[in-house]
């Protein structure tokens, strides 16, 4: 059975997220930066509602 209690949704775009929020966990593997919002109820609109989900955003730190 598929378990949708944890899902990673990648949102790729330039810019920064604030990592100081208590619910934000940050990790920065080079060359990608990744920020995740964990334990949230995600109203994805396209894939229904995901309880206790993880929203991950990544972006490249490499200079063009």
Partner 1 sequence: MTVYPGLIDPETNFGLTEISADQMGNDLVERSDEIMPHMHVADAFHSETELIPVARLNGITNAVVAPATDDSISGQDIFIQLYGRDRDDMILGRDVALAMNYGAEQRRRGGRGGGMGSYPSTRMGLITQLRQNFLDAQDYMAKRDAKKEDKSFKRDLKMDALIPYLKGERPVVIGVYEGYDVETIMHLAQEFHLKVILNHVTQSQEVLDKIASYHVPVIVGSIYDAPRANERFDAVYTLPAELAKRGVKIAISSADAGGPVSSHSSRNLPYAAGFAVAYGLPYDEALKAITLNVADMFGFGDKLGSLDVGKMANVVMANGDPLDVRTDVKQVYIQGVAVPMVSRQTRLRDEYSK
Radius of gyration (C-alpha) of the chain in whole angstroms: 13
Does position 28 bind partner 1 by CB under 8 A?
no
Report residue 8 as tokens: 């990673």
Does position 10 bind partner 1 by CB under 8 A?
yes
Least distance from partner 1 to the Cβ atom of residue 7, Å? 9
Distances (CA, A) of 27 to 2, 11, 43, 50, 63: 26, 15, 24, 23, 19
Pick between residue 12 and residue 30 the one whose CB is nearest to partner 1: 12
Question: Using CB under 8 A as the criterion, which residues of the chain lie in contact with partner 1 when the complex forms?
Answer: 9-18, 21, 23, 37, 39-48, 53, 55, 57, 59
């Amino acid at each position: 059975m598929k378990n949708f209690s944890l899902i990673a949704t990648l949102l790729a775009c330039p810019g920064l997220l604030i990592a100081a929020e208590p619910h934000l966990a940050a990790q920065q593997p080079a060359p990608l930066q990744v920020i995740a919002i964990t334990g949230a109820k995600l109203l994805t609109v396209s894939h229904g509602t995901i309880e206790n989900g993880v929203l991950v955003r990544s972006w490249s730190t490499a200079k063009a």
